[in-house]
Amino acid sequence: MRQICWKVLSFFLLLGAPVYGQATDRPNVLFIAIDDLNDWIGALNGHPQVKTPNIDRLAKMGVLFANAHTQATLCNPSRVSILTGLRPETTGIYNLAPHHRDVAITRDVVTLPQYFESQGYRTLSNGKIFHSIGTTPEKRAEFQEWGSIGGGTAGHPPQKLVGDTHMGNHPLLDWGVYPETGDSVRNDYKVATWAEEKLALLKEQSDRPFFLAVGFWLPHVPLFATRKWFDLYPEEEPLYLPPAPPDDRDDVPPFAWYLHWYLPEVRLSWLQEHHQWESKVRSYLATISFTDAQVGRVLDALERNGLTENTIVVLWSDHGFHLGEKGITGKNTLWERSTHVPLLFAGKGIPGGGVCRQPVELLDIYPTLLELAGLPEKSGLEGVSLVPQLQNPDTPRERPAITTHNPGNHSVRSLRWRYIRYADGSEELYDHLQDPHEHHNLAGRKAYREIKEDHARWLRAKDAPHAPGSKHRKLEKKNGHWYWEEQLIVAEELIK
């Protein structure tokens, strides 16, 4: 039935005609994605020194979801979940591959931009929205118009700025001042320029509303920015480093290491040994501020072209990023630093200055945008519309936020608690009221048994297995043994 419905929808899309008819009074949608941005924005108070005036401006214009969490702490599964409205444990897409059009359950799914196109919207995209774009017509069907940039940072210095690193010495694992004087050479700058140009054109093409997706790569590695952004965080001023006590993993199950067993990201021990911890944190902050400036350029263009009042703006990040917490850098964990992300809605029909502290999911973006735009509901979506919270941020939600990283590994984040259960049955529990940095695992204490059970009831008895073609960050059990990217995990080979 799914294939038949998609073929019918595709027929109408090819004709250029919406299924339900055009409505020129419907709001536009500006869909802003940022890669690897944790909660280090001013509005979330994630880092006391971060400078993000433009994202903070957007937060004041609308509603900030201060307890928003990703469905997967890795680019591809997170973005597939957001744009299909399905959980990783439904699709079996947990890793950097496969592409969603190569998986049976999502091969014919109508993604978020396709649904808007079916309702008469003009859809455009540039930068990193999906993890991978693909080259076939089936994989280029998500948008009517694609910009020339699919992601990346537009070049590397002749040699790595930080020299050789452990964990594979990956070329992306680099940070520091980019050896160019101007920002215009950076891909994210070019994406913002493209958005400025498109918004000027869309102002004149008012016969139908638009869905404009703008995807920024930074602060994804490599953490390069030009000198002006590093000057916001001068080396002569003391830099706040994330709390990372040396005993922080003493009460964490050993299985937690399996989720990030061997990655192209350095451990905190390497940063400390090579005196690079401050440098990497400063580079992360500089790239955040650079990206914030590009967001500001797009928001300014929206206002300059008189489109602000009739446009819904949503800004999100696909997952967070560790900068030393729990002894690591990067993502691929089920802790707050990796799951907690910015999520903001502003624009037509959304009151300004609201902050919602209820647990919400990026999965909720799809149904929320449909309701805000006045479009028919789409069956099969696994998220829940956030419109009640946009109207009144204090409106409670029964559901917690669930994050998954490979089958059987889940985090359940409620208003106060984070419960983690790993595929081997080991657990963690953190009280965010008393322990916001998740330093004290309470899972082994009998007094918290009911709290664990209340959170565990949201987890499925069985997750979908890895989809065919799954690879990169793949963790699976075979013949009673655990394998990381097809290599047997040997406990004695762990790099800490």
* CATH code of 68's domain: 3.40.720.10
Known catalytic membership, residue 432: no
Is 241 within the bounds of a domain?
yes
Strand partners, 122: 210
Q: Where do we find the tokens 């793949």?
A: 474
Q: Which domain holds residue 291?
A: 2-396
Q: Which residue has the tokens 């109207």?
A: 391
Torsion of CA 429, 434, 438, 441, to 10 degrees: -40
Q: What CA–CA distances, in Å, run from 242 to 94, 188, 230, 239, 321?
A: 28, 27, 18, 10, 12
Measured CA to CA, the distance from residue 213 to residue 33 in angstroms comes to 8
Kindly state the DSSP code that residue 230 receives in the 8-state scheme.
H
CA distance 414 to 431: 10
Structure tokens at 180: 């160019």
**How far is Cα 123 from Cα 146, in angstroms, rounded to an integer?**
9
- Closest C-alpha among 403, 423, 419, 410 to residue 484: 423
Place of tokens 């940022």: 34
Q: For position 96, what pLDDT does the model report?
A: 97
∠ CA 405-458-95, rounded to 5°: 15
Task: Answer yes or no: is 451 within a domain.
Answer: no
What is residue 155's predicted lDDT score, i.e. its pLDDT? 78
| Dist CA 87 CA 107 (whole Å) | 15
Q: How far apart are the first and last CA of the chain?
A: 49
3-state helix, strand, coil in the chain (%, to 5): 30, 20, 50
Whether residue 337 is contained in a domain is answered as: yes
Does residue 131 have an active-site annotation?
yes
Catalytic residue among 47, 69, 75, 319: 75
Domain contains 450: no
CB atoms within 10 A of CB 218: 27
DSSP three-state, residue 485: coil
How many domains does the chain fold into? 1
Question: Which has the closest alpha carbon to 30: 236, 303, 286?
Answer: 303
Question: Does residue 57 form part of some domain?
Answer: yes
| Cis amide linkage into residue 219, ω under 30° from 0 | yes
Asked if residue 382 belongs to a domain, the reply is: yes
Other beta carbons less than 10 A from residue 136's beta carbon:
9
Q: Which of 216, 468, 162, 476 has its CA nearest to residue 486?
A: 476
Which one from 47, 69, 100, 131 is the annotated catalytic residue?
131
Q: Is residue 276 part of a domain?
A: yes
* Three-state secondary structure string covering 407-469: CCCEEEECCCEEEEECCCCCEEEEECCCCCCCCCCCCCCHHHHHHHHHHHCCCCCCCCCCCCC
| Orientation angle between helical segments 365-372 and 75-84, nearest 10 degrees | 30
Alpha-helical segments (H) within 205-354? 227-230, 268-273, 277-304, 336-339
Per-residue pLDDT of the chain (496 residues; tens, 9 = 90+): 333 344 445 444 433 334 434 456 899 999 999 999 999 999 999 999 999 999 999 999 999 999 999 999 999 999 999 999 999 999 999 999 999 999 999 999 999 999 999 999 999 999 999 988 777 777 788 999 999 887 777 778 889 999 999 999 999 999 999 987 789 889 999 999 999 999 999 999 889 999 999 999 999 999 999 999 999 999 999 999 999 999 999 999 999 999 999 999 999 999 999 999 999 999 999 999 999 999 999 999 999 999 999 999 999 999 999 999 999 999 999 999 999 999 999 999 999 999 999 999 999 999 999 999 999 999 999 999 999 999 999 999 999 999 999 999 999 999 999 999 999 999 999 999 999 999 999 999 999 999 999 999 999 999 999 999 999 999 999 999 999 999 999 999 999 9
Calculate the alpha carbon distances from 108 to 3, 74, 104, 213, 298 in Å. Answer: 6, 23, 8, 21, 32
Q: Is residue 435 part of a domain?
A: no
